[in-house]
A = this chain, B = another copy of it.
């Protein structure tokens, strides 16, 4: 057996492109078009670089306190990690150690099956219905855990809090994870259910709503028991994943929540405008509550449109995947960007 034979074989994930092209309208990775705010800017300017010689606070206590205050939770109900990808991987490793499969939708965040493979966890993909909706009854079967995004990605569709509560009632022997990466663009967060259901775990991120994709901050909110276990597992192999600057920036962002909510409101208005304009051009789409929309034109090939938009300097996301190969996921940018998008699509459809 050669050393090459001892290397792990994987199918690398292809993230949305990050090309360095001038004047590109980048609507492909669900980034927020607004900057992270004055308080984040000041936090960076005021950061004493000599502190970087020391390891970060391993428990990120100031940041967890700010998150706890914001969500009306105890600090011990808050976990922070290096982006929600790290947090999600850790949740799979920590929480899904049963005999039955973990359940998640067939059309959903593409890393869920990857985390299962990584930690040798059995899983079952549950097909969404033809309207891309989650059917509650499908999640009332033996399982080692349940996870789905709310709103779901890439559809943008939300489920109600009543349905989540009903799922929790029917799954009191498993951890139910609601991935709320996009919750703050019009969905209703399940955070208030945490006090009632110790097996509910919620993930959030600073990347979208708080315009901080560049800093890598992910969050898990849940019962003290589950959060303590997440820290135990993390600390068993990686003591300091969240760096000192990211902690300081996270705290500053929490203090600028009014500004950030105003940006989200602008994104919501721009989303509704974009939906309405694209419907006029014949597009159909689920009713997204996220900072992206998921659109299909019954008479126009999605991949062709993707490539034509790319030629015009507009980058959206196309997935080579069963069931969704005629859809494009389009991030909501500024109103100005979306007007250009609508205009270019109109020209392409006319031609």
Contacts and interface: CB of A to CB of B under 8 A. Distances in A.
Interface of A: 1-8, 10-13, 15, 18, 26, 29, 31-36, 40-41, 44-45, 47, 49-58, 82-83, 85-86, 89, 93-99, 111, 114-115, 118, 120, 144-145, 172-175, 198-199, 207, 211-216, 225-226, 229, 231-233, 235-246, 249
A196 to B, nearest CB: 14
Given A15-B235, A216-B241, A44 B49 contact: yes
Given A49-B40, A53-B32, A211-B53, A241 B82 contact: yes
Given A7-B97, A40-B52, A214-B54, A239 B85 contact: yes
Given A29-B55, A233-B10, A240-B216, A3 B207 contact: no
24 contacts: A1-B173, A2-B173, A3-B95, A6-B173, A7-B175, A8-B229, A15-B55, A15-B58, A31-B53, A32-B53, A34-B53, A35-B52, A36-B49, A36-B52, A40-B52, A44-B49, A51-B214, A52-B249, A56-B214, A83-B241, A85-B239, A93-B118, A215-B244, A243-B243
A29 B11 CA distance: 38
A262 to B, nearest CB: 15
A253 B254 CA distance: 29
Q: Is the interface of A mostly helix, strand, loop or mixed?
A: loop
Contacts of A111: 237
A176 to B, nearest CB: 9
